[in-house]
Amino acid sequence: TSFALSKPFTESLITWFKPSYIVTHCNFFSLQHNAKVAVLGASGGIGQPLSLLLKNSPLVSELSLYDIAHTPGVAADLSHIETRATVTGYVGADQLGDALKGCEVVVIPAGVPRKPGMTRDDLFNTNATIVATLADACARHCPQAMICIISNPVNSTIPITSEVMKKHGVYNPNRVFGVTTLDIVRANTFVAELKGLDPARVNVPVVGGHAGKTIIPLISRCTPKVEFPADQLSALTGRIQEAGTEVVKAKAGAGSATLSMAYAGARFTFSLLDAMNGKEGVVECAFVRSEETECKYYSTPLLLGKNGIEKNLGLGKLSVFEEKLVAEAMDELKGSIKKGEDFVANMK
Ligand SMILES: NC(=O)c1ccc[n+]([C@@H]2O[C@H](COP(=O)([O-])OP(=O)(O)OC[C@H]3O[C@@H](n4cnc5c(N)ncnc54)[C@H](O)[C@@H]3O)[C@@H](O)[C@H]2O)c1
Ligand SMILES: *[C@@H]1O[C@H](CO)[C@@H](O)[C@H](O)[C@H]1NC(C)=O
Ligand SMILES: *[C@@H]1O[C@H](CO)[C@@H](O)[C@H](O)[C@H]1NC(C)=O
């Protein structure tokens, strides 16, 4: 006796057992439903609302909250929210390792605000030391995780994180991000305001660094296409670059942007998780190790994928106005990058 398998049946067998199909679908279930995300500095002005937004997302199954104070309370509070993510609070250096074990994404908004008598250098050194300590713990306990740094100065904390990971031999430049999303969020909002558009549908790439003149919104590449007379374009660019000051002034001594930053940090994290889950065409700008300009670290649009940066999309075509801004920012940015690298080189 003999029988032949019908063609459609064999074809469907091949489809079902094609390795790529199985891999895609296993990832779909295992990653999408098991993303463990840590927030380091979770009790702070940014940390708390950021943790709330992450707890609210179906992309997160475990939320690990670390700080040097108050995390048990923040975690207990968030844990009553009727979403799937389990929330655990870790407090103090002894618990940092446990907070990081098994994490796929680590978001870092830790810092110490200026205290009376602190010099500019003191201010730099405190956050730099905190970020170096936290990066060191990531290198030991979750070397494969995506690390998203919010702590300022981002222009130096990304070089610091990279150098610390290098010291441990676990540096992967595709997995270390300086979160500049707030600059993009502000640019989208301000352009939408001026043009009467829905801000959710506006997208302005922002390149360069993450402070003052180094923040370079590419209005010429906005979607949908928008045009402004020269004076308005220059005022809009200035407003995006100094938007942080608007918030600091309005808060009158009670801190800087926290709620909009939490939104921006969550937006970046969700994009990354989507891309890690296999979603295609996810693009975000971030400050990363870069070969796109003469600056060693630079923010440009990045195509994200399962392993972090899949492709750096580069600066692309710039207007004459934007080319000038890029050129003017270069030397200043290089200085702050060197400052971050020197900081790690001089650590014992
Ligand atoms: N990337 C951006 O666009 C952007 C925007 C706004 C603010 N920031 C930066 O984000 C950081 C946090 O700002 P914030 O307003 O939430 O400050 P915050 O002072 O309210 O919170 C910082 C938190 O970090 C915690 N912390 C201090 N030392 C720590 C350590 N060693 N380990 C873990 N946690 C530690 C503090 O206890 C506090 O809860 C700052 O560096 C700020 O400059 C970045
Ligand atoms: C360090 O972090 C604090 C918030 O904790 C922030 O207010 C301060 O501006 C940061 N320092 C620098 C140098 O950016
Ligand atoms: C780096 O960032 C800090 C604050 O975030 C800023 O004061 C400094 O001017 C920046 N340097 C450069 C070169 O952008």
Please tell me whether residues 186 and 166 are part of one structural domain: no
3 assigned to some structural domain: no
Ligand 2 atom, smallest distance to 256 CA? 7
7 assigned to some structural domain: no
CATH number at residue 231: 3.90.110.10
pLDDT tens-digit series, residues 182-209: 999 999 999 999 999 999 999 999 999 9
Please tell me whether residues 190 and 174 are part of one structural domain: no
Measured by CA distance, the residue closest to atom 5 of ligand 3 is 153
Q: Is 283 in the pocket of ligand 1 (CB under 6 A)?
A: no
End of a domain among 135, 152, 179?
179
Rounded distance, CA 235 to CA 243, Å?
A: 12
Rounded distance, CA 157 to CA 177, Å?
A: 10
Which of 164, 170, 324 has the alpha carbon at shortest distance from 234? 324
Please tell me whether residues 225 and 84 are part of one structural domain: no
Please tell me whether residues 202 and 144 are part of one structural domain: no
pLDDT tens-digit series, residues 206-226: 999 999 999 999 999 999 999
This model's pTM is above 0.95 = no
pLDDT tens-digit series, residues 63-118: 999 999 999 999 999 999 999 999 999 999 999 999 999 999 999 999 998 888 89
Q: Is 127 in the pocket of ligand 1 (CB under 6 A)?
A: yes
348 assigned to some structural domain: no
Ligand 1 midpoint to CA 253 (Å): 16
Does residue 264 have a pLDDT over 50?
A: yes
Residue in the block written with tokens 């609302």: 49
End of a domain among 141, 164, 179?
179
pLDDT tens-digit series, residues 219-246: 999 999 999 999 999 999 999 999 999 9
- E strands, the chain, are 36-40, 62-67, 86-91, 105-108, 146-149, 176-178, 206-208, 215-217, 283-289, 297-305, 308-312
Percentage of residues in the chain having pLDDT higher than 70: 91
Among 39, 40, 43, 46, the mutation site with the greatest number of ligand 1 atoms within 8 A of its Cβ is: 46
Does residue 5 have a pLDDT over 60?
A: no
Please tell me whether residues 131 and 194 are part of one structural domain: no
Beta-carbon contacts of 325 under 8 Å, excluding residues fewer than 6 positions away, are: 208, 213, 216, 237
Please tell me whether residues 190 and 100 are part of one structural domain: no
Please tell me whether residues 49 and 65 are part of one structural domain: yes
Beta-carbon contacts of 309 under 8 Å, excluding residues fewer than 6 positions away, are: 173, 174, 175, 288, 302, 303
Q: Do residues 204 and 188 make contact, with C-beta atoms less than 8 angstroms apart?
A: yes
Which of 281, 278, 49 has the alpha carbon at shortest distance from 150? 49
Please tell me whether residues 113 and 259 are part of one structural domain: no
Q: What is the pLDDT of residue 115?
A: 86
Percentage of residues in the chain having pLDDT higher than 90: 86
* Average pLDDT of every residue of the chain: 92
Nearest listed ligand to the Cα of residue 155: 3
Measured by CA distance, the residue closest to atom 6 of ligand 3 is 211
247 assigned to some structural domain: yes
Measured by CA distance, the residue closest to atom 18 of ligand 1 is 44
End of a domain among 179, 209, 240?
179
Q: Is 111 in the pocket of ligand 2 (CB under 6 A)?
A: yes
Please tell me whether residues 166 and 195 are part of one structural domain: no
Which domain, by its residues, includes 86? 27-179
- Residue 136: how many CB atoms within 10 A of its CB? 17
74 assigned to some structural domain: yes
Q: What is the pLDDT of residue 21?
A: 38
Please tell me whether residues 163 and 264 are part of one structural domain: no
Among the listed ranges 27-31, 174-178, 269-273, 300-304, which one has the minimum average pLDDT value? Answer: 27-31
Domain count, the chain: 2
Does residue 24 have a pLDDT over 70?
A: no
245 assigned to some structural domain: yes
Measured by CA distance, the residue closest to atom 7 of ligand 2 is 113
pLDDT tens-digit series, residues 114-139: 888 899 899 999 999 999 999 999 99
Ligand 2 midpoint to CA 150 (Å): 10
Q: Give residue 312's identity as a one-letter amino acid code.
A: N
Q: What is the pLDDT of residue 308?
A: 98
CATH number at residue 106: 3.40.50.720
Nearest listed ligand to the Cα of residue 208: 3
295 assigned to some structural domain: yes
Ligand 2 midpoint to CA 2 (Å): 77
What would the mean pLDDT of 170-184 be, rounded to a whole number? Answer: 98
Ligand 2 atom, smallest distance to 111 CA? 5
206 assigned to some structural domain: yes
Please tell me whether residues 151 and 193 are part of one structural domain: no
Catalytic residues: 210
Please tell me whether residues 38 and 163 are part of one structural domain: yes
Q: Is 38 in the pocket of ligand 1 (CB under 6 A)?
A: no
Rounded distance, CA 47 to CA 73, Å?
A: 13
Give the model's confidence band at 33: pLDDT under 50 very low, under 70 low, under 90 confident, else very high. Answer: low
Ligand 1 atom, smallest distance to 257 CA? 6
What would the mean pLDDT of 25-40 be, rounded to a whole number? Answer: 68
Q: What is the pLDDT of residue 114?
A: 86
Measured by CA distance, the residue closest to atom 2 of ligand 2 is 111
